[in-house]
């Protein structure tokens, strides 16, 4: 679980603002109550004085005074209940209101993140993933295995059978994410569902509170180029910083970008650094494995081929299949 520090701080600041807001609401409400019912205020001041005197008597161990003051406290309390009833008020009118009563707008219950914190965290993670809208439609719940071809003319596993295995790999990648450092390389022609599968994994991980960053190779290489013009320090202001920080980085459609020696160097650095940090990366590409070395560098290809699980997706273009289905 890792919300970037600055995001964590931002959420905590939201809670502080919320508490400040409710406190000012309460102050205003109490001011109005005391203005309308001065006797309730007088009773409260007397009760406060009584409490202070009782504390002093306790220090002196003055049993007589403690007994007298305790009686007085009970009388004041009884008077308060009468005054409240006359004014049509209850004790609840004097309590602060919380947006989340469970954690009293602190974000934590017994040292653990409150449900409201987790919800907010998920919103932030989704927003930062660059995937917010697409994941509603592309996730394990909407994955359609009926689109896969079940025929197998030469006796080898059908596309359907092969895809069930792949889906299982994706599920287990997401489920064991915290225990197992794994990287995936989806390769195969266009339209066989590479992006869809990475989206399924992305949603499962976002929902379990992980930070996921999606980049098409084109936008990633744009970011690499941009970073050249900025100071290349590893601080939160550097746009590349998040790439090293995220729990999962997805690079979609590698091979479609425009590259030069600087940006391919940056790709190597990213892939290598994330391996050293034991952070997972998923790459999808239309390239053949043999082409990786030619298109990038041998050392990039060798890192990918030795540290990523290659998953070949084959079969007919599912997008065309779905389009035909819609037209029928
Ligand atoms: Zn809460």
Decide the pairing of beta strands 309-312 and 184-187: parallel
Q: What average pLDDT does range 171-179 have in this prediction?
A: 95
- According to DSSP, the residues that pair with 215 across neighbouring strands are 251
- Among the listed ranges 13-17, 113-117, 274-278, which one has the minimum average pLDDT value? 113-117
Cβ(197)–Cβ(166) below 8 Å: yes
Ligand 1 center from residue 98 Cα (angstroms)? 9
Tell me what pLDDT residue 293 has: 87
Q: What's the CA-to-centroid distance between 103 and ligand 1, angstroms?
A: 4
DSSP string, 244-298: HHSSEEEEEEETSS---HHHHHHHHHHHHHHHHTT-EEEEEESS-HHHHHHHS-H
Task: Give the model's pLDDT for residue 239.
Answer: 67
Separation of 229 CA from ligand 1 center, angstroms?
A: 42
Task: Return the percentage of the chain with pLDDT > 70, whole number.
Answer: 95
**150 burial class (0-12, 13-18, 19+ CB within 10 angstroms)?**
exposed
CA 215, CA 218: separation in Å to the nearest integer?
A: 8
Tell me, in angstroms, the distance from the centre of ligand 1 to residue 247's CA. Answer: 25
Cα(92) to centroid of ligand 1, in Å? 20
Cα→Cα distances 287→189, 256, 262, 312, Å: 8, 9, 21, 11
Residue 303 vs residues 74, 275, 300, 306: alpha-carbon distances, Å: 77, 9, 5, 5
Q: In angstroms, what is the span from residue 186 Cα to ligand 1's centroid?
A: 40
Residue 150, C-beta contacts closer than 8 angstroms, at least 6 positions apart: 158, 159, 160, 161
- CA dihedral for 107, 109, 112, 115, sign (positive or negative): negative
pLDDT value at 3 more than 90 = no
Residue 109 CA, ligand 1 centroid: distance in Å: 7
Distance 245 CA to ligand 1 centre (A): 26
Give, in degrees to the nearest 5, the angle at Cα 145 between 139 and 146. Answer: 130
Both tokens assigned to 264: 């391919």
- If you measure from the C-alpha of residue 118 to the centroid of ligand 1, how many angstroms do you get, rounded to a whole number? 9
Alpha helices in 62-158 (DSSP H): 63-87, 115-129
285 Cα–ligand 1 center, Å: 42
Q: What is the β-pairing status of strands 112-113 and 108-109?
A: antiparallel
119 Cα: distance to centroid of ligand 1 (angstroms): 9
Domains of the chain, residue spans = 130-327
Any idea which fold 130-327 has? Rossmann fold (3.40.50)
How confident is the model over 201-247, as pLDDT tens digits? Answer: 999 998 888 889 899 999 899 888 887 766 555 555 566 888 888 89
- Spacing, Cα 13 to ligand 1 middle (Å): 14
Q: What local confidence, expressed as pLDDT, does residue 234 receive?
A: 52
Tell how far the Cα of 102 is from the centroid of ligand 1, in angstroms.
5
pTM above 0.75, yes or no: no
94 alpha carbon to ligand 1 midpoint, in Å? 21
- Residue 160 Cα, ligand 1 centroid: separation in angstroms? 44
Average pLDDT of span 316-322: 70
**C-alpha separations of 56 from 42, 63, 67, 71 in Å:** 21, 11, 13, 16
88: left (phi over 0), alpha (psi -120 to 50) or beta: left
pLDDT, position 183: 97
Tens-place pLDDT, residues 275-310: 999 999 999 999 998 898 888 989 999 999 999 999
């Amino acid at each position: 679980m890792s919300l970037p520090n600055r995001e964590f701080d931002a959420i905590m600041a939201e809670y502080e603002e919320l508490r400040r807001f409710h406190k000012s609401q309460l102050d205003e409400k109490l001011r109005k109550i005391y203005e309308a019912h001065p006797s309730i205020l007088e009773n409260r001041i007397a009760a406060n004085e009584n409490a202070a005197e009782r504390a002093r008597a306790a220090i002196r161990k003055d049993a007589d005074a403690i007994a007298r003051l305790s009686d007085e406290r009970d009388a004041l309390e009884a008077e308060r209940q009468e005054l409240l009833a006359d004014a049509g008020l209850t004790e609840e009118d004097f309590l602060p209101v919380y947006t989340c009563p469970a954690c009293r707008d602190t974000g934590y219950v017994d040292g653990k993140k409150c449900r409201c914190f987790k919800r907010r965290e998920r919103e932030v993670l989704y927003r930062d993933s660059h995937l917010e809208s697409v994941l509603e439609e592309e996730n394990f719940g909407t994955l359609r295995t009926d689109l896969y071809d079940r025929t197998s003319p030469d006796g080898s596993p059908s596309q359907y059978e092969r895809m069930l295995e792949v889906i299982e790999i994706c599920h287990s990648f997401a489920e064991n994410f915290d225990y197992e450092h794994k990287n995936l390389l989806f390769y195969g022609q266009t339209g066989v569902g590479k992006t869809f599968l990475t989206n399924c994994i992305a949603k499962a991980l976002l929902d379990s509170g992980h930070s996921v960053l999606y980049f098409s190779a084109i936008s990633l290489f744009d970011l690499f180029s941009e970073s050249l013009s900025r100071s290349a320090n590893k601080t939160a202001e550097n746009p590349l910083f998040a790439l090293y920080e995220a729990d999962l980085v997805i690079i979609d459609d590698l091979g479609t970008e425009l590259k030069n020696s600087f940006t391919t160097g940056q790709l190597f650095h990213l892939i290598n650094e994330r391996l050293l940090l034991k952070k997972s990366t998923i790459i999808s590409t239309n390239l053949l494995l043999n082409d990786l070395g030619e298109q990038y560098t041998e050392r990039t290809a060798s890192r990918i081929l030795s540290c990523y699980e290659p998953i070949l997706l084959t079969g007919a273009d599912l997008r065309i299949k779905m389009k035909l289905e819609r037209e029928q």
